[in-house]
Chains A and B, each alone.
Chain A
């Protein structure tokens, strides 16, 4: 963990945001 960089954090965050977006799409499909 000591070697983790800001870039690592960015990519982890990007993954979380993208899957969050997919979860929103899922909710959107429910209401379609």
Chain B
């Protein structure tokens, strides 16, 4: 079988599996976030943290709960890393992590980014990995889903200032969605060859006569939530290119499936909550169009393997894990940046100039196709609000979406959401390029050097976490600057989203009229895709022109 045929089957199998999961998983998540009885374990947790699970929150209290939980999580994770050597259990003899790196990592995992300025196997003990970083992999993903569900409730409820209870949503999403799926697929990954132990590792003799330390650890259990929660932080520095994390081509397929499955199924949950499955199909259709387009383009660009060295060797194989090959790697690269995952099974910095531009563009799209767990859904719903606003301007009517008027306040909040990330990316990149000390971290000059810095800030602001290598980021400046970017890139949009949810929930429903834009029809899907692409193109085109585009046409 040719490589191309194998690649097409690989992608087709992914599409079929995701389509099969859409209804059952989406319906299941709907039942999880819809008020039902609380389990004994859940009631025990609510008692422990002093929460009344029957008490629903206004958008202000819901947002305050999100922010308070996240602030405490960052401070806890910071202290955990700083004091790992003092805990004397499963620390593998590593010293406490340096302050700037601890803060960067704490912010990174709490914001679902999982940007890693460190090598896991030489920095973090097993206890910090399991009880610190992996816990955040669960709860940060759950926070994203909770915020998305709160926004959808805002659309669905009428003259109601309550959005649900953040603590109930957080606990339920962790216990009923993320944990069970993680346990099942961790066992599957172990069957595939991923390791799961508490070993400090083994010293082995290499074929060249040297010695090498191979670190063991609880890898499989963290690998699943790394993908499922669109986190992306690897146990090992090589991430999913490491055979202990991702042993075979079928585990590679499974990891891509896991990182896409919740985000692609959430539109079904959205459709169920707003009472129209067709609205869910419209949203997922827009996601699919952009995702298939991106995966096709990156595979074509990597397949063309333009450039002196790729032409000489016949393929763009630099930085590609030979077990997976070019097509599987390119598909992983696109999937990981279409979501907010950031895990890698190949090295994006080594991609062809234009091929490497695709992951950057995916992130700049706002990671909405399908996006991060929860963040993808609320991101595309914000774009849907902007789309109906533009459509309303075209025909001179007050825009409405799902029976709610999109007035001045709603458009202001959606606009603030859309402006936040580009401002963080472009200002951050600009400041880095202006500072000699920050420029000193660039290991490449010219357009590619700019692409590396642009990639770093795009990844941080969009909470992706993948990186173009070739940029020395474990410095006080980059750790702090990228930490600030991750934190503001996560929580400022969340405040605007929840503000919008509160505003929508308090409105009464507007009856559908002849002037109402049918938001479940192909015309709206096309407009939504168009608005997404145009908004991104206009915002980022100058930066892309100076980076990957300039390098690609050189």
Number of interface residues of B (CB under 8 A): 29
Q: Is the CB of A32 within 8 A of B499?
A: yes
Contact A7 B100 (CB under 8 A): yes
Report A17 CB to chain B, min CB distance, Å: 11
Q: Which residue of B lies closest to A5 (CB)?
A: B99
Instruction: Give B61-89 as 1s and 0s: 1 = Cβ < 8 Å from A's Cβ atoms.
Output: 00110010011001100100011001000
Which A-chain residue is minimally distant from B484 (CB atoms)? A18
Q: B463-497 CB contact bits vs A (8 Å, 1 = yes)?
A: 00000000000000000100010011001100110
**Cβ-defined contact, A18 with B488, below 8 A:** yes
Chain B residues 126-141 with CB under 8 Å of chain A are none
* Listed residue (A8, A11, A26, A32) with the most chain B CB atoms within 10 angstroms of its CB: A11
Question: Is B194 on the interface with A (CB-CB < 8 A)?
Answer: no
How many angstroms from the CA of A30 to the CA of B63 in the assembled complex? 12
A26-B64, A26-B495, A32-B409 are known contacts. Are A3 and B96 too (CB-CB below 8 A)?
yes
Task: Determine whether the beta carbon of A25 is less than 8 Å from that of B492.
Answer: yes
Q: A29-B413, A30-B60 are in contact. Are A23 and B67 (CB under 8 A)?
A: yes
Question: How many Å lie between the Cα of A15 and that of B72 in the bound state?
Answer: 10
Instruction: Give how many A-B residue pairs fall within 8 Å (CB-CB).
Output: 57
Decide if the interface of chain B is mainly helix, strand, loop or mixed. Answer: helix
Q: Once bound together, how far apart are the Cα atoms of A1 and B96, in whole Å?
A: 13
Q: Mark A1-16, 1 if CB is under 8 A from B, else 0.
A: 0011101101110111
- Bound CA span A27–B102, Å: 30
* Complexed CA–CA distance, A14 and B429 (Å): 21
Complex CA distance for A15 and B483, rounded to whole angstroms: 10
Instruction: Please tell me which one of the listed residues A10, A11, A12, A32 contacts residue B413 in the complex, with CB atoms under 8 A apart.
Output: A32
In the bound complex, CA of A27 to CA of B96 (Å): 38
Q: Which residues of A contact B99 (CB under 8 A)?
A: 5, 7-8, 10-11
**With A7-B99, A22-B492 as contacts: A15 and B64 at CB distance below 8 Å:** no
- Chain A residue numbers with a CB within 8 Å of B492 are 22, 25
CB-CB contacts of B527-547 with A at 8 A, as 1s and 0s?
Answer: 000000000000000000000
Given contacts A5-B99, A32-B409, are A12 and B67 in contact (CB under 8 A)? no
Binding site for A on B (CB under 8 A): 60, 63-64, 67, 70-71, 74-75, 78, 82-83, 86, 96, 99-100, 102-103, 409, 412-413, 480, 484, 487-488, 491-492, 495-496, 499
Q: What are 25 A-B pairs with beta-carbon distances under 8 A?
A: A3-B82, A3-B86, A5-B99, A8-B99, A10-B99, A11-B100, A11-B103, A12-B78, A14-B103, A15-B71, A15-B78, A18-B488, A19-B67, A19-B71, A22-B491, A23-B67, A25-B492, A25-B495, A26-B60, A26-B495, A29-B413, A29-B495, A30-B499, A32-B413, A32-B499
* 7 extra interface residue pairs, beta carbon distance < 8 Å, beyond A4-B82, A16-B71, A26-B64: A3-B86, A8-B82, A11-B78, A11-B102, A15-B78, A23-B64, A26-B499
